Homo-oligomer: A and B are copies of this chain.
């Protein structure tokens, strides 16, 4: 299923940034966008996921699915983020079995939100 990987490209992740230098979130966004995207995954920048104290952060979402937000990420996590996004896209309902999630997704979850507009 077509899913979206959102990257908070405005995150400073607590760093002091020199004038004109890309912030940590922008560096992560560039690294993700330069990589080969997994099948059925669209990567896009978003301004602020409001997880500023736990940045850098990304979110995975798709219509009719649980959304997930992960934090405390860096450019070093690009391969794992993409592997986790691919597993989310492949899972019929978006719920990836626990053991198949990358460690950063198991340990650095900030929140998840149920499918929107559905009744329980």
Determine if A111 and B62 form an interchain contact, defined as CB atoms under 8 angstroms apart: no
A92: interface (CB < 8 Å): no
Contact of A116 among B48, B57, B63, B112 (CB under 8 A): B63
A46: interface (CB < 8 Å): yes
Counted per complex, copies of this chain come to: 2
A91 to chain B: closest CB distance in Å? Answer: 16
* Number of chain A interface residues as a range: 20 to 34
A14: interface (CB < 8 Å): no
A4 to chain B: closest CB distance in Å? Answer: 8
Known A-B contacts A67-B67, A69-B69; the reply to A57 vs B111 at CB < 8 A is yes
Chain A 16-59 interface mask (CB, 8 Å, partner B; 1/0): 00000000000000000000000000001110111100100101
Cα of A88 to Cα of B109 in the assembled complex, Å: 25
